[in-house]
Amino acid sequence: MARLWAEGTTVLAVEDDLLTAKLIRARMELDGLRVLEARNGREALELLKSEGADLVSTDLMMPSMDGYRLIREIRELPPPLGQVPILVLSVNSGEEDLVRCLAGGADDYIQKPLSPQVYIEKLWRLYLRARGEAVPWLRPETLLGLLLWILGILAAQLLLMMLVGGWLQVRHDRLNRMRIACHQKWENDIVSYLYGPDREALPFGILGTEERRFFIPFLLRVLGTLAGSEGKAVRELYHRMDLYHGLERRLWARQPKIRALAALEVGSFRVEAHFGRLLELLHDPAPHVGHAAARGLGNTQRAAYFGPLMQWVLDQEGFQQERLLWILESLGAEFMRWLEARMDGGREADLREWMIYALLAASTRRVVEPSRLIAMLEVPDTEVEAAAIKALGSLGNPEALPFVMPATRQPSWGIWDQAA
């Protein structure tokens, strides 16, 4: 619709951002409007009093005097200046800001980033209203038709959601029944495979796509139960059945749940080609994927990954570190010897590693040299001292008692509590 502004129609544009001011000025001048510019509310108020304006467009957040106060100041002016239409434009999109502007005397509101066409159209409607000209609203019958059309669309969407939800529930139930049936069969098959007369025969048959999705978690559960020669046989079964096909795609999947399961799969079944990807997944944005990668690297039992795993644990929040000790515990005695070598290697001491060493000794009750733990009592670090006392207590060595007793007089609650 063509807009026919009266000659000399003036808009006072109050905007402290130079780029925004240039853009809206250019768009208004393209429509034939005269534009006065101000950078803050105080300057705008002076321009309005001296030059006058048919419309005011103002930002909210400005120096010297913000938009809220400018609106109030304009409305306190005598007519006709106090009745000038005001259009607010701002990045603030909250309901509270909108109500505050309208209650203060603004006539309309537009949010940044703004559409120049919508901006000009809002100015035009305010201009018409101020001149007492009718704004062409929709006719009642058209509004009723539009309302019925919207209700029809909403009803169709609701019906579609119900159909899709029902289909998803049916599919979920079917897959769940299939998973239970498969697991019941495979539990018998795995016993037959491990303890039957012929391990060369594979009793599982040919697995379909959906069955493969269930079979790998099933094998992970079995592997979490068995160790020794049976655990080795389960890993060999994984490779014999070529279950690693598609593993690389799963390790790079967008869904964190799939990446986490794939990380466990790599470490548990020792798929060496993808060990490097586990190191990358330690720093995955999804925490449970990082935990799965750490668990997978721990399952490899490779000394090459002791350092990255230790650093990953140390990078966690303090309250998380002790909770994640089980990952380091899974590395066994070899990890403790590796950690002792680091502590004795003449490198600059990382007190956090000393603390981890003492906590591991306490949680696994692994026999370590009491002298090493006693030496930690001299370290001027509360967490290291508390961990060393905890380890000495768990080992139950009475020779350590004379060294622990002074800690009962420590003012630190952490040390006093462990000593007690």
Judged on CB neighbours under 10 Å (0-12, 13-18, 19+), 75 is middle
Is omega for the bond preceding 370 within 30 degrees of 0, making it cis? no
What average pLDDT does this structure show over 308-337?
81
pLDDT over 60 at 135, yes or no: no
**225 HSE (CA, 13 A, CB side):** 10
What average pLDDT does this structure show over 306-322?
81
Residues 6+ apart with CB under 8 A from 301: 331, 332, 334
Q: Model confidence over 146-180: pLDDT tens digits?
A: 889 999 999 999 999 999 999 999 988 988 898 89
Q: Model confidence over 203-224: pLDDT tens digits?
A: 777 788 888 888 889 988 888 8
Distance (Å, rounded) from C-alpha 63 to C-alpha 39?
8
Mutual orientation of helices 351-364 and 306-315 as an angle, nearest 10°? 100
The torsion region of residue 399 among left (phi > 0), alpha (psi -120 to 50) and beta comes to alpha
Q: Model confidence over 270-304: pLDDT tens digits?
A: 888 898 999 999 899 998 898 999 988 888 888 88
Domain positions in the chain are 10-131, 332-420
H/E segment holding residue 144: helix 140-195
* Residue whose C-alpha is closest to residue 363's, from 385, 330, 320, 339: 330
Homologous superfamily of the 10-131 domain (CATH): Response regulator (3.40.50.2300)
Distance (Å, rounded) from C-alpha 360 to C-alpha 339?
11
Phi/psi of residue 55, nearest 5 degrees: -145, 150
pTM: 0.53
Computed over every residue of the chain, the mean pLDDT equals 83
- CB 392 within 8 Å of CB 370: yes
The single residue listed with the structure tokens 């493969």 is 212
pLDDT over 60 at 139, yes or no: no
Q: Model confidence over 181-192: pLDDT tens digits?
A: 888 888 888 888
Chain Cα centroid distance, residue 257? 14
Signed CA dihedral, 28, 32, 37, 41: sign only: negative
User: What are 4's two structure tokens?
Assistant: 């026919």
Residues 6+ apart with CB under 8 A from 21: 13, 15, 37, 39
Distance (Å, rounded) from C-alpha 406 to C-alpha 403?
7
Distance (Å, rounded) from C-alpha 361 to C-alpha 367?
7
* Residue whose C-alpha is closest to residue 221's, from 258, 186, 173: 186
H/E segment holding residue 91: none
Lowest mean pLDDT among 55-59, 85-89, 335-339: 335-339
User: What are 352's two structure tokens?
Assistant: 């956090």
Q: Model confidence over 344-386: pLDDT tens digits?
A: 765 555 778 888 888 888 777 666 777 777 777 777 777 777 7
Q: Model confidence over 260-270: pLDDT tens digits?
A: 999 999 988 88
Phi/psi of residue 391, nearest 5 degrees: -65, -45
What integer pLDDT is reported at residue 138 of this predicted model? 46
Judged on CB neighbours under 10 Å (0-12, 13-18, 19+), 128 is middle
Judged on CB neighbours under 10 Å (0-12, 13-18, 19+), 344 is exposed
What average pLDDT does this structure show over 39-62?
90
What integer pLDDT is reported at residue 346 of this predicted model? 56
User: What are 256's two structure tokens?
Assistant: 């964190």
What integer pLDDT is reported at residue 137 of this predicted model? 46
Is omega for the bond preceding 203 within 30 degrees of 0, making it cis? no
Residues 6+ apart with CB under 8 A from 130: 54, 55, 83, 84, 85
Residue 179, amino acid = R
- CB 15 within 8 Å of CB 39: yes
Beta bridge mates, 11: 35, 55
Looking only at the bridges linking them, the beta strands covering 10-14 and 86-90 are unpaired
